[in-house]
Structure 1
Amino acid sequence: MSAPKCRLCSTELNHTFVDLGMSPPCESYLAADQIDQGETFYPLHVRVCEECLLVQLPAYIPAEDIFSDYAYFSSYSDSWVRHASDFVDLAVDRLGLDDDSFIVEVASNDGYLLQHSVAKGIRSLGIEPAANIAEVANAKGIPTEVMFLGEETGTKVADIHGKADLVAANNVFAHVPDIVDFAKGLRALVADDGYVSIEIPHLLRLIDGNEYDTIYHEHYSYLSLLTTQRVLARAGLTVVDVQELASHGGSLRTWSTPTENAGAPSGSVAKVLADEAAAGLHTLDGHAGFAEQVGKVRDDLMEFLIECRRAGKKVAAYGAPGKGNTLLNHCGIRADLLSFAVDRNPHKHGRFLPGTHIPISPVERLAEERPEVIVIMPWNLRAEITAQLEYTREWGAQLAVALPRLEVF
């Protein structure tokens, strides 16, 4: 059997970064009448390209099967909406945007970001492949086109709406199997003197923080600044600045412009590249060792949950994010160790987590059943969720996170 090919340079992928075994699609939440039916599990075998160093998961599942009807609504996270608002304020100041400007966001979800630019009187357009989510955005007055971005669709949008002063692509760059065509779509959308802003979870932080639950089938690529530069260069875009962010356990926000008009990159670009090189990410050998870190996370969590069961403690999960399903399925956790999950998203209520079949309920179930331990699944929102769970002190509940290492508090 031949090895899969790199999506950036077409080199055979013969080197493993980490192999998490088999798992169902992380957003394939089950209805009650589906839990006695078969589920399809796919490999989570992540490779690293020996030539261009892009860390990647082969496209075991087509993007159309994942994103055409989607369960994730960005607006259910208060901190993420604030993050989007802050980004819009920053972009307006940085680029001098006003009511003569035009902003396009790719993977615009339910309008969580563009609502802030619309409120400022800036012409805005969302591009969102999930029709069910785009419908919500349009109902809120956020003009949204339903499509997957590529060079062809980006050109069509630009022909109809004009080219954008700012194209935002936050936490989507890793979600596209044909990342080069997607980058070319970004170039097609942006004006020659405009900017493309991309936010990506940073591979360096994923490794440092043992953040292996961010590995799932809809994340096709795991990007460093170096590999991001290489992808964008194929589309005629040059990274001129980068910001390091705390979001998603450590992210990068890159600012790119069409190469023909790009000036010298900022010192921040050189600094992040130097950090990556020092960590070994600019060599193939520097990507080794992550699998051992992952094994320790799994062992620690399983030992803790087994101890809770032996002590007769009920354990629940707060949040049912897709990435939590990577963790639960890799560890083999089922409802005998984790009784139920709660989530603010009503679209998930009454459904079951894929693979594990743990039921998802409204948040109010916590107060009804008073579990002794609550595991916060979206650990990147730990501060926000801890504040929301302040009331669980009434019955002495312990809170826990599994990543970047097991903590009980």
Structure 2
Amino acid sequence: MTRCRLCGSTALESVVDLGATPPCESFLAAERLDAPEPTYPLHLRVCTDCWLAQIPPLITPEETFSEYAYFSSYSSSWVEHARVFVEDAAARVGLGEDSFVVEVASNDGYLLRHVVDRGVRCLGVEPSVNVGAAAREAGVPTLTAFLSPETGAAVRAEHGPADLVVANNVYAHIPDVIGFTKGLRALVADDGWVSVEVQHLLTLIEENQYDTIYHEHFQYYTVASAIRALASGGLTLVDVELLPTHGGSLRLWARPEEAAGEPGRRVADVLAREKAAGLQELSGYTEFSARVAKVRRDLLRFLVDAAEEGRTVVGYGAPGKGNTLLNHCGIRPDLLPYTVDRNPYKHGRYTPGTRIPVLPPERIAADRPDYVLVLPWNLRAELVEQLAYVHEWGGRLVFPIPELSIVEVER
């Protein structure tokens, strides 16, 4: 990578180098286990001119998202998060029977189903053929397409401008951040609203959340860099909310620049927090790599010690972030014989790179392991409740991020 994808600067500094890994959602079918598997460097750098953290665009969105293994509806807490968002957004924007809502990267309709339930006209724009089909089967109108300025203009011409455009957990997934932002502007009415949820680089750094760095995530935002990114497409940030999702996320509320007005107080407050953390100077990034190395050492030490003591450890979940962690730590089936996942799409497949089998969740109760390594640590509250049954045989949960913690659960 030689130039920043947002401002074009060549002033890029290394934050953490995680080596080379396969794409995090490229789960392997059994018949592919003897085939070669491509890997790509995973090296996070930050632009010291606009402070956008980014990785090189070594794979295309088309390679990742044309058929996708992630279905949002398999997380109960995520569906509830979407329901609450729709309720709050309807009050903020004033959604009614004449309104129109567009969600970009709408996945399996987990969010727009709540818009449909309110009787509000909506459309999902989802690039993954298999996931979009699931949304349509659930009654959510869905266009199979990647967002671009041309796609945005075509949707607007056919359906009219959107009163609300939602782009949750997609703003990091596109290498052409400027073109994507122009697409958002093409969709939204001149007096409309755009809501973007994206992981906050502040908590990623502070909480050692390095496993959320993977090839699908091309950039990592602070409010400061998000303001510049939104402006590249004619949008102005007017409000921000700090969310607990994904270990710490931003909900960015933006409007077309001609309708925006002055930003709310919360924007200035978060900018001040980021500045105090050193994220607008290189000093805020320099210690991250050493803390990442400690997470790796602590997890490997625990797994090796458990194996030496004859204790069994299995995984729970097969999220993209888990595959960054497993590959960076070099964890193989000798230390983690399998992981389980609620998504049947992944059953019978193997994690990319580390080739750990993915099985149905019922396997845990059948095998009664000593420890369950929870890979989607961001769903900690939900999964501590879901996995409370391991208490029946004295099993314990292990969370690797932000630091190794072993949890005894109670029913």
Is the 1:202–1:250 Cα contact (8 Å) retained in structure 2?
A: yes
Aligned to 2:265: 267
Taking the TM superposition and a 5 Å limit, the aligned residue runs for 1:6-405 are 6-12=4-10, 14-405=12-403
Q: CA deviation at 1:313?
A: 0.8
Secondary structure of 1:117 counterpart = helix
Letter of the 1:154 partner, please give it. G
Q: CA deviation at 1:141?
A: 1.1
Is the 1:13–1:47 Cα contact (8 Å) retained in structure 2?
A: no
Q: CA deviation at 1:252?
A: 0.6
Letter of the 1:231 partner, please give it. A
Is the 1:53–1:284 Cα contact (8 Å) retained in structure 2?
A: no
Secondary structure of 2:147 counterpart = coil
Q: Cα deviation per residue 1:236-256 (whole Å; 9 max; x = unaligned)?
A: 100000000000000010100
Q: Cα deviation per residue 1:385-408 (whole Å; 9 max; x = unaligned)?
A: 111111111111011000011000
Secondary structure of 1:173 counterpart = coil
Q: CA deviation at 1:4?
A: 2.5
Quick one: distance in 1 between partners of 2:400 and 2:2?
32
Q: Cα deviation per residue 1:324-343 (whole Å; 9 max; x = unaligned)?
A: 00000000000111111000
Letter of the 2:216 partner, please give it. E
Quick one: distance in 1 between partners of 2:335 and 2:293?
19
Is the 2:4–2:12 Cα contact (8 Å) retained in structure 1?
A: no
Quick one: distance in 2 between partners of 1:93 and 1:14?
42
Quick one: distance in 2 between partners of 1:229 and 1:191?
20
Quick one: distance in 2 between partners of 1:234 and 1:66?
25
**Residues 19, 13 of structure 1: alpha-carbon distance in 2 compared, 3 angstrom cutoff:** farther
Task: Write out the 4+ residue segments of structure 1 that deviate beyond 2 Å after TM superposition.
Answer: 284-287
Q: Cα deviation per residue 1:83-117 (whole Å; 9 max; x = unaligned)?
A: 00000000011111111110000000000000000
Q: Cα deviation per residue 1:253-295 (whole Å; 9 max; x = unaligned)?
A: 0100000111111100000000001011112332221101100
Letter of the 1:96 partner, please give it. G
Secondary structure of 2:327 counterpart = helix
Is the 2:3–2:12 Cα contact (8 Å) retained in structure 1?
A: no
Quick one: distance in 2 between partners of 1:109 and 1:293?
33
Quick one: distance in 2 between partners of 1:339 and 1:263?
56
Is the 2:181–2:230 Cα contact (8 Å) retained in structure 1?
A: yes
Letter of the 1:98 partner, please give it. G
**Residues 13, 44 of structure 1: alpha-carbon distance in 2 compared, 3 angstrom cutoff:** farther
Quick one: distance in 2 between partners of 1:361 and 1:327?
19
Letter of the 2:271 partner, please give it. L
Q: Cα deviation per residue 1:140-198 (whole Å; 9 max; x = unaligned)?
A: 11000011101111111111111100000001000000011000000000001100000
Q: CA deviation at 1:314?
A: 1.1
Letter of the 1:185 partner, please give it. G
Is the 2:113–2:140 Cα contact (8 Å) retained in structure 1?
A: yes
Q: CA deviation at 1:12?
A: 2.0
Q: CA deviation at 1:13?
A: 5.1
Letter of the 2:38 partner, please give it. T
Letter of the 1:8 partner, please give it. L
Letter of the 1:338 partner, please give it. L
Relative to the length of structure 1, the TM-score reads 0.98
Q: Cα deviation per residue 1:50-107 (whole Å; 9 max; x = unaligned)?
A: 2111100110111110111100000000000000000000001111111111000000
Quick one: distance in 1 between partners of 2:369 and 2:265?
50
Quick one: distance in 2 between partners of 1:14 and 1:245?
29
Quick one: distance in 2 between partners of 1:324 and 1:40?
18
Relative to the length of structure 2, the TM-score reads 0.98
Count of matched residue positions in the alignment of Structure 1 and Structure 2:
407
Secondary structure of 1:175 counterpart = coil
Q: CA deviation at 1:139?
A: 1.1
Q: CA deviation at 1:9?
A: 1.1
Structure 1's unaligned 5+ residue stretches are none
Q: CA deviation at 1:5?
A: 1.6
Quick one: distance in 1 between partners of 2:405 and 2:364?
20
Letter of the 2:221 partner, please give it. L
Q: Cα deviation per residue 1:26-65 (whole Å; 9 max; x = unaligned)?
A: 0000011111111111000111112111100110111110
